[in-house]
Structure 1
Amino acid sequence: MTRMFPALRARPGRELDIPGQITFAIGLVLVLYAAVEGPESGWTTLPVILSSGIGLCFLVGFAVVELGAKSPIFDLTLFRNRAFTVGSVVAVIGILAFLGACFATSMWLGPVQHQGPLRVAVPFLLLQGPAFRLIPVVSRLLHRVAPTWLLTSGFVLMSVGCLLCTRLDVTDAGLSAFVVPDLLIGVGFALCVSSVTAVALDSVPPQLAGMASATTNMLRDLSFALGPAVVGAVALSKAGTAFSSNLDGAGLPPDHLGAARGIAAEGGPIAVNSLPPGAPGSAAHDLALDALGSGFSNAF
């Protein structure tokens, strides 16, 4: 392989960057834990605060270590390259948006509308199916079309699809409203997923292509982890605020009002939305459903 592609051969004197690997791994794991646990346990709980604080300290330590390392695992000077920096930011935001849209769709149909597993799975044929069909086509197009054009086109399609999702009616249990937006998001993702790496590779010297590719893949995986956490935090926070503000003026019987308020304090409006008919607090079901619809529309 190195005979065919000399630029891929490791540079002389290259060594393992053990301090960089340790500081980055610990920092990333702690920050991801805080991002995933925050929406569930609360952002002000001690484990979340400690995880985020210590994780950020380790990531700062990683940057310091890399700046002085003889053989850095990640050359931070790559970010002096404007094209690479913009491509990295785009990778994080775009992939986060795709998985966030998938998560919001599953929550909308599942815990919010209580639809069956098979019906929940149908929109994912449109969200993820196009990638299996189009990625080989996109790989060939990358030899003829500038990857930035494919990347931009993909993000435009995803944006339009998410914008259409903001107009979904939470009281409508039909699946037809998902067809066009989910197909746009799915096709857009198919155009983006290979183009992100191509843009990164085109923006750096050949000897740094491996590092640039690995960094882009790492950022893409990071976005996959952050997507549900960010979207869930936005949606459930918005829903909780809307439910609380509308609860007092809803004219519910006192026993249902108190129960709904207590259940929402423990599990949010999604817990109220799951109450069986006749249970204490179930009279607030419609309020909870409307609040969740507003929250996930906001997330889209």
Structure 2
Amino acid sequence: MSSPASSPSAPPDTGTRHITATILLACLGVFVSYLPVVGVSVALPVMQQALDASTEGLQWITDAFILPTAALLLTCGMVGDLYGRKKTYLAGLALFCLGCLVCLTAGSVVQVCVGQALTGIGTAALLPSTLALIGHVIPDPRKRARAIALWTAALGLGLSLGPVVNGVIVAHTSWRWIFLPSLVLAVLTAVLGAVVLTDSRAERERHLDIPGQLLAVVAITGLVYGVIEGGSSGWSSAQVVIAFVAAALGAAGFVVVELRSACPMLDMRLFKSSAFSGAALVMAVTLFAQVGLVFALSEYFGLVHHASTLDIGIRLIAINGFTVVLGPLVGRLMNRATPGLLLVTGLVIGGIGALLMNAFQAGTSTGEAALVIGVLGIGIALAMAPITTIAMDAVPHRLGGTAAAANSALRQIGSALGPAVFGVILTHRTLATLPGHLASSGLSPADQGQVSGLVSNVGIQAGAFLHLKTPASTGQAQAAYGASFTDALHTCALVGGIGMLVAAVIAVALIGIRPARSPQTAPEATAHPASAAS
């Protein structure tokens, strides 16, 4: 059925060169898959003008990538366990390349969403396979923690460089070319992976869980669709109510099916582990806040500060840049201190950084904004690697692929809800506060009505391009719009900051500030309820 290298019982190749090459290719895979994530977000103002997209359309451009990633992660983790992690890794890169090609030729929001969806499916295959490849060649938990820290740093590097690279591209050519670097890197990584990687599969027989996959898609898509459409069509509209009902029924059905399945896509017994459950929940909340704030800040800098795509990328680089800079240090600290302590510290610092954004005003300088964003970035850097390590170490080694897929699935569900929820907040708060700011701006009632009508009917992005009869009235209108949008950003900051602080409380309650595990403790030997999941 497979070659010896990919048989379930084949021991990992523990040669130093092979381990190093596997870690490098795992890092390259996650770097490539995350390079366009924030990069696309910072290009949204330019894409909005080029494609005449609404706020809802911009949300779908972001979520078109994240939704299939979240919905298919668990299945891709199972496919990797069943047919081979290397094969899944290479298939993910191939789909990612196809998605980039579709976006490179896009002339509409719909085509961009299709391309984003294809890259999202590719990412769904890459995330669990890269972590599983690392877990296969590095069974020792201490060494694996350092490798996961490098993996997290590579993810952060993709998130950090994407905005800057895309900013340079948009400054000199069409926005479509922002997908070219990802395409080239994905092709090169696939060639290296095909030559260097050794395949591996799960140690136990697994089968595809089709009912579970279908129900997961219904639950995740229904939830995100309901949030996005609720912001534009109204929360009581028929399609929104149907979406939320479908999401609830899909989620309930998923749990029932997974509990009864002989080979579940997500073994619900894993959640008997308080550490695994805590890490999964904290991961979802943290990514919700992180990606949601990136979406909101990208819009704020682009629409209120009128910053270029490159300027937006530079201003946001600290959110993920510190993950790269501090990654090696965090990896060493996890072996000397307590992963739970690092996690809680990072969440508290990140929450404070998000709350400090309430001091932002329409005229806040780049330096002031960078300091606050830097605090958020340091918090995220301290939290991300411990979350992943805690989740991976909370289950027996043989379930590493399942844990990796579940961990990544919660990451992407949080990432999908971030832009959806924060986009709704931006729209509603801007429209709610705009009349008051216009009334105090000195504009005539006729001009106030013109501005309110334009922003309400066309979309909140229209407020950045207001042109009234005189330069003075245009300036007054834009100042009122900037103040309204900043009020909306403050609400986003409150939601994100409080969310991260709540996640810190959850981490203390479910994970705890535990002493570091002994290096001699093998993962399989750890007493854990999740071990029953096999």
TM-score scaled by length of structure 2:
0.51
1:212–1:248 Cα change, 3 Å: same
Match of 1:295 among 484, 488, 491: 488
Greater Cα shift, 89-98 or 235-244: 235-244
Say how many residue pairs are matched: 299
Matched letter for residue 195 of structure 1? P
For residues 57-206 of structure 1, the aligned pairs below 5 Å read 57-172=249-364, 174-206=365-397
* Map of 1:32 onto structure 2: 224
**C-alpha deviations, 1:199-238, integer Å up to 9, x for none?**
1123334443332221111111121222122222223322
Does the CA contact (< 8 Å) of 1:36 and 1:226 recur in 2?
no
1:22–1:268 Cα change, 3 Å: closer
- Residue 292 of structure 1 and its aligned partner are, at CA, apart by 1.1
Matched letter for residue 289 of structure 1? G
Separation in 1, partners of 2:452, 2:340: 50
Matched letter for residue 293 of structure 1? T
Separation in 1, partners of 2:261, 2:338: 35
Separation in 2, partners of 1:12, 1:262: 62
State the secondary structure of the residue aligned to 1:104.
Answer: helix
For residues 197-276 of structure 1, the aligned pairs below 5 Å read 197-247=388-438, 252-267=443-458, 269-276=460-467
Does the CA contact (< 8 Å) of 2:437 and 2:483 recur in 1?
no
Q: Which runs of 5+ in 1 are unaligned?
A: none
Identity over the aligned pairs, expressed in percent? 29
State the secondary structure of the residue aligned to 2:344.
Answer: helix
Match of 2:11 among 3, 27, 31: 3
CA RMSD after TM alignment: 2.9
Matched letter for residue 115 of structure 1? A
Does the CA contact (< 8 Å) of 1:19 and 1:65 recur in 2?
yes
State the secondary structure of the residue aligned to 1:218.
Answer: helix
Greater Cα shift, 226-235 or 259-268: 259-268
Matched letter for residue 288 of structure 1? Y
Does the CA contact (< 8 Å) of 1:236 and 1:296 recur in 2?
no
Matched letter for residue 399 of structure 2? L
* Map of 2:479 onto structure 1: 286
Separation in 1, partners of 2:443, 2:370: 37
Greater Cα shift, 182-191 or 262-271: 262-271
1:192–1:291 Cα change, 3 Å: same
State the secondary structure of the residue aligned to 2:206.
Answer: coil
Separation in 2, partners of 1:107, 1:22: 34
Greater Cα shift, 26-35 or 92-101: 26-35
- Residue 37 of structure 1 and its aligned partner are, at CA, apart by 4.1
- Residue 193 of structure 1 and its aligned partner are, at CA, apart by 1.9
Does the CA contact (< 8 Å) of 2:219 and 2:246 recur in 1?
yes
- Residue 66 of structure 1 and its aligned partner are, at CA, apart by 1.0
- Residue 250 of structure 1 and its aligned partner are, at CA, apart by 5.8
Separation in 1, partners of 2:458, 2:286: 30
- Residue 196 of structure 1 and its aligned partner are, at CA, apart by 0.9
Does the CA contact (< 8 Å) of 2:228 and 2:424 recur in 1?
no
Does the CA contact (< 8 Å) of 1:150 and 1:195 recur in 2?
yes
Greater Cα shift, 48-57 or 156-165: 48-57
Greater Cα shift, 253-262 or 100-109: 253-262
* Map of 2:36 onto structure 1: none
